[in-house]
């Protein structure tokens, strides 16, 4: 049996690469595993040898200690890999297939999955709808920042690349199909971005940059990205976005300087619950700051999409209400302007196949736009630290050497 190494959460600000069990076709007890899931058989699963596994901003929330994640939780939900073992009930996949794994775990059989809402599958998490690999309160499916990972309900969940050699040539772009590219695309779909739209995206992290890339695919007239990190704004500008520096104040006046009007057709929150204040308040936590700003600058009748993560448990929040996910919103503004809101995880399977085709046809180069950087699995702690410090980089972990030629 092969050995397995994985990235584990060791407490606020700390991750370590540890030796861990090789996956089996049964969910075993471990950090974060829901008791009702212990012993769950997975004959419908496959075990993959990881080709690429990415560090996500959602992982970073846990590592900062801003969730109730347990110590020793194996991290990682952005997984691309080669199948090395196939469960008894798998019919359409085989050893050697190269697959992209949606971060949402979905059974494919419940009413939500049948209706295309794979982000809120009813059968994979005993506590509530929806599940993901290596994430707090998501059922305890083991994370994918590892050499080997179990993928349940594989016939349904796995996106097989049609040509393995072609896929390996474009693997850095294809590695973004597990989460951030579909998530950014979903933000544009639900916000109503279309040809000629003006769109404001709060946050120039990887999801914000993916949303900006998607907005350009949709033919938006002007894509404006706001952040207070100069390097991330520079990255957004590198592929044609307008940028505004939120350390200089609220976005409204800066948007007016670009568009000649102080509003946009639609807006996307790619920041989430760890938002900061604007202007002189950029050092202070202000979890409702982005949402309130978006209600202010979104045109009447427009839509705000919220792919940025909000949680029900934030022990590091600035006040008792925010610790429970209760925010002080200027909701009257949104109501008066008849603004609609779209929230929740992205149903990755709704978009990943078409986005794969766009990548394979050279219609989009998402890895370049998010500044993908390959590092080894053992270098994951450094990647987390640099990402936490605001690096304008999407870190891709090269767990098994498939990405050697792309390494810096």
Residue-by-residue DSSP string for 258-285 = HHSSS-EEEEEE-S-TT-B-SGGGTTSB
Instruction: State the CB neighbour count (10 A cutoff) for residue 320.
Output: 8
The pair of three-digit structure tokens given for residue 272, joined into one six-digit string: 């989430």
> What per-residue confidence (pLDDT) applies to 297?
97
DSSP structure string for 138-191:
S--PPPSSBSEEEESSHHHH-EE-S-HHHHHHTHHHHGGGGTHHHHHHHHHHHH
Q: How far apart are the first and last CA of the chain?
A: 31
The pair of three-digit structure tokens given for residue 67, joined into one six-digit string: 């969730």
**Of residues 262 and 322, which shows the higher confidence score?**
262
The pair of three-digit structure tokens given for residue 365, joined into one six-digit string: 């180069």
What is the spatial distance between Cα 100 and Cα 108, in angstroms, rounded to a whole number? 16
What are the start-end ranges of the E strands in 274-391? 298-306, 340-343, 372-376
Q: Domain spans of the chain?
A: 4-179+347-406, 181-343
Among 111, 214, 96, 112, smallest CA distance to 158 is for 96
Per-chain mean pLDDT for the chain = 95
The three-class DSSP label of residue 235 is helix
Which range scores top for mean pLDDT: 36-40, 220-224, 246-250? Answer: 220-224
What is the spatial distance between Cα 301 and Cα 177, in angstroms, rounded to a whole number? 31
Interval 322-346 mean pLDDT: 91
CATH number assigned to the domain covering 181-343:
3.40.50.720
Q: Which residues contact 247 (CB under 8 A, 6 or more apart)?
A: 228, 278, 279, 282
**Of residues 18 and 327, which shows the higher confidence score?**
18
Tens of pLDDT, residues 259-308: 999 999 999 999 988 888 888 777 778 888 999 999 999 999 999 999 99
Instruction: State the CB neighbour count (10 A cutoff) for residue 64.
Output: 14
What is the spatial distance between Cα 297 and Cα 268, in angstroms, rounded to a whole number? 11
Helix (H) or strand (E) holding 336: helix 331-336
Interval 200-219 mean pLDDT: 97
Per-residue pLDDT band for 118 (boundaries 50, 70, 90) equals very high
The pair of three-digit structure tokens given for residue 122, joined into one six-digit string: 């009813």
- pLDDT tops 70 at residue 1: no
Residue 269, strand partner residues: 202
> What per-residue confidence (pLDDT) applies to 326?
84
Per-residue pLDDT band for 3 (boundaries 50, 70, 90) equals confident
**pTM of the full predicted structure?**
0.96
Among 75, 113, 69, smallest CA distance to 381 is for 75
> What per-residue confidence (pLDDT) applies to 325?
82
What is the spatial distance between Cα 276 and Cα 273, in angstroms, rounded to a whole number? 9
Q: Which residues contact 190 (CB under 8 A, 6 or more apart)?
A: 303, 305, 342
Per-residue pLDDT band for 408 (boundaries 50, 70, 90) equals low
DSSP structure string for 9-42:
E-STT-EEEEEEPPP-SEEPP-TT--GGGTTEE-
Tens of pLDDT, residues 364-403: 999 999 999 999 999 999 999 999 999 999 999 999 999 9
Q: Give yes or no on whether 4-179+347-406 and 181-343 have one common fold.
A: no
Interval 119-140 mean pLDDT: 94
Superfamily of domain 4-179+347-406: Medium-chain alcohol dehydrogenases, catalytic domain (3.90.180.10)
- Where b means 16+ CB within 10 Å and e means fewer, 283-296 reads eebbbbbbbbbbbb
Interval 192-200 mean pLDDT: 98
């Amino acid at each position: 049996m092969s050995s397995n190494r994985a990235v584990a959460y060791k407490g606020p600000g700390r991750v370590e690469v540890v030796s861990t069990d090789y996956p089996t076709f049964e969910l075993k007890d471990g950090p974060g595993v829901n008791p009702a899931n212990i012993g769950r058989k997975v004959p419908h699963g496959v075990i993959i040898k990881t080709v690429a596994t990415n560090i996500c901003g959602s992982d970073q929330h846990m590592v900062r200690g801003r969730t109730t994640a347990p110590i020793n939780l194996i991290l990682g939900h952005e997984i691309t890999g080669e199948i090395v073992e196939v469960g008894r009930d798998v019919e359409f996949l085989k050893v050697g297939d190269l697959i992209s794994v949606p971060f949402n775990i979905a059974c494919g059989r419940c009413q939500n999955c049948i209706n295309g809402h794979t982000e809120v599958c009813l059968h994979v998490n005993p506590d509530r709808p929806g599940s993901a690999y290596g994430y707090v309160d998501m059922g305890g499916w083991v994370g994918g920042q590892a050499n080997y990972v179990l993928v349940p309900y594989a016939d349904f969940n796995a996106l097989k690349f049609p040509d393995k050699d072609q896929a390996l040539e474009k693997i850095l772009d294809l590695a973004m199909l597990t989460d951030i590219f579909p998530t950014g695309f979903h933000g544009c779909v639900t916000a109503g971005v279309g040809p000629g739209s003006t769109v404001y995206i709060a946050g120039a992290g990887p999801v914000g940059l993916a949303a900006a890339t998607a907005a350009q695919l949709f033919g938006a007239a002007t894509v404006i990205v706001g952040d207070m990190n100069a390097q991330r704004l520079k990255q957004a500008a590198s592929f044609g976005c307008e940028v505004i520096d939120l350390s200089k104040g609220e976005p409204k006046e800066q948007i007016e300087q670009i568009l000649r009007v102080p509003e946009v057709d639609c807006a996307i929150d790619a920041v989430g619950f760890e938002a900061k204040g604007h202007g002189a308040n950029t050092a202070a936590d202000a979890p409702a700051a982005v949402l309130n700003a978006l209600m202010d600058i979104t045109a009447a009748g427009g839509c705000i999409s919220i792919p940025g993560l909000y949680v029900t448990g934030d022990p590091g929040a600035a006040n008792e209400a925010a610790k429970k996910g209760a925010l002080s919103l200027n909701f009257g503004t949104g109501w008066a302007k008849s603004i609609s809101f779209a929230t929740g995880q992205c149903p990755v399977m709704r978009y990943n196949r078409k986005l794969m085709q766009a990548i394979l046809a050279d219609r989009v180069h998402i890895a370049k736009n998010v500044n993908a950087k390959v590092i080894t699995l053992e270098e994951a702690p450094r990647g987390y630290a640099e990402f936490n410090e605001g690096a304008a980089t999407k870190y891709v972990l090269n767990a098994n050497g498939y990405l050697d030629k792309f390494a810096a």
